[in-house]
Amino acid sequence: MIHLQGIGKTYRLGETEFAALAEVDLDIERNEFVALTGASGSGKSTLMNILGCLDSPTAGAYSLDGEAVAGLDEDRLARVRNRKIGFIFQNFYLMPRVSALDNVAQPLIYRGVSPAVRRERAREALTRVGLAERTHHKPNELSGGQRQRVAIARALVGRPELLLADEPTGNLDSRTAEEIMALLTDLHRDGVTLVIVTHDPGIASHCHRVVRLHDGRIAEDLRQSPRPVDLAEPHPPAHA
């Protein structure tokens, strides 16, 4: 589904050039569950932006589902994003003054979907993430985990072929993070291709493949047996 060959990304700061990525070769098959890891500054967020067609490489070739996207202009990249890719962000980026239903339906406006169909598909997406009873709640009436579920539903409403998650559990406690990973694992079982950026080895351990970046290059590409999600109730603290 994803084919990167010789991908490079160079930024210019005044007279100085900084190579965020260099000679990255990466293939991701349909329905893979991949974690992109690495220290701060390793290039993983830059790579995520290129995968999501939010940025263009300065060198190399990128094909998404057989379509060469590396050289597309911004309008055509926007159409690819809207048609093929769903995004989940650490900070949710929900509209605070509208309901969960309207937040989820928002991406369908740009596809020209009618209001009735938008609302129907938004309800379906919220049901899929376990929030059927929260459709009319605004973000400030929801917990952090519920807000992230709304963000996941928004990413799913367009029925994307690729789901990209940038630190999707970064603002959540460990229990809620496990719940979100359980949901993402279910989506993967349903056939969604998932790529997650994370600095957390525990989150990466739930994925089937871990790609570690270092200084803008792929340092490791490991396949693994994913660790099952643990949703057991936490033990009460021991008393002295």
Check residue 14 and give its pLDDT. Answer: 82
Going by pLDDT thresholds of 50, 70 and 90, the confidence category of residue 143 is very high
Q: Please, which residues bridge with residue 196 across strands?
A: 35, 165
In this predicted structure, the answer to whether residue 86 has a pLDDT above a threshold of 50 is yes
102-105: long-range contacts (C-beta < 8 A, 24 or more apart)? 103/139, 103/150, 103/154, 104/150, 104/153, 104/154, 104/157, 105/157
**Residue 49 confidence (pLDDT) above 80:** yes
Q: What is the pLDDT of residue 232?
A: 61
The sign of the CA dihedral 28, 34, 38, 40 is positive
Give the rounded percent of residues in the chain with a pLDDT score beyond 70.
96
CA distance 7 to 89: 24
Distance CA 122, CA 80 (A): 21
Positive or negative: CA dihedral 170, 173, 174, 180: negative
Structure tokens at 197: 């950026």
Residue 48: both structure tokens together: 């995520």
Query: Per-residue confidence at 29, pLDDT binned at 50, 70, 90?
Result: very high
The residue with greater pLDDT, 174 or 195, is 195
> What share of residues in the chain are helix, strand, coil (percent, to 5)?
35, 30, 40
State yes or no: pLDDT of 234 exceeds 60: no
Position 57 pLDDT exceeds 90: yes
Helix (H) or strand (E) holding 51: helix 44-51
Q: Could you report the per-residue pLDDT of 205-230, keeping only the tens digit for each?
A: 999 999 999 999 999 999 999 988 87
| Total-model pTM | 0.89
Is the confidence at residue 21, as pLDDT, over 80?
Answer: yes
pLDDT at 238: 39
| Residue ranges with strand state E in 138-178 | 162-166
Task: Report the SS3 class of residue 212.
Answer: strand
Say yes or no to pLDDT of 83 above 80.
yes
> Cα dist. 162→20, 34, 40 in Å?
23, 11, 24
Q: Which of the four pLDDT bands, split at 50, 70 and 90, describes residue 13?
A: confident
CA distance 198 to 133: 30
